[in-house]
């Protein structure tokens, strides 16, 4: 069952990595979108780096709990900023999707790292 958890980490991380790649490819559009919601352009690169680094750490299972909590917080903040129009069906569905992702991240954060993580390997190497 450990491989199932690894696939779960890969699947949940893929969303963030794809979004980071999309930001790179559509930089101007992303910045305009951010500014439409009152988010400064200065946060473009930090969010881009965040959406690449933490999901990769989650995939390899390094600092798994910290990575999951960091992505959880990021997801909640993004949800509050960008998906708060409950009149729009699209925005409401995005809100529910993000809450589901946040729930999955909390599940990852609440579990001990398993055999398919770098954390597990480093911990067993110390013993």
Residues 33-58 pLDDT 10s = 999 999 999 999 999 999 999 999 99
Domain count of the fold of the chain = 1
Q: How distant is the alpha carbon of residue 127 from its chain centre?
A: 31
Q: Which residue has the tokens 């305009």?
A: 32
3-state helix, strand, coil in the chain (%, to 5): 80, 0, 20
Contact call for residues 108 and 68 (beta carbons, < 8 A): yes
**Residues of the chain falling short of pLDDT 50:** none
Domain assignment of residue 44, given as a range = 2-126
pTM for the model stands at: 0.92
């Amino acid at each position: 069952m450990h491989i199932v958890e690894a696939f779960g980490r890969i699947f949940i991380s893929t969303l963030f990595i794809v979004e980071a790649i999309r930001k790179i490819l559509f930089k101007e559009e992303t910045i305009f979108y951010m500014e439409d919601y009152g988010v400064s352009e200065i946060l473009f690169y930090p969010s881009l780096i965040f959406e690449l680094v933490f999901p990769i750490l989650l995939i390899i299972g390094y600092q798994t709990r910290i990575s999951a909590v960091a992505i959880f917080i990021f997801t909640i903040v993004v949800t509050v900023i960008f998906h708060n129009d409950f009149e729009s069906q699209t925005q409401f569905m995005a809100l529910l999707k993000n809450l589901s992702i946040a729930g999955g991240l909390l599940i990852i954060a609440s579990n001990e790292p398993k055999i398919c993580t770098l954390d597990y390997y480093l911990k067993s190497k110390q013993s």
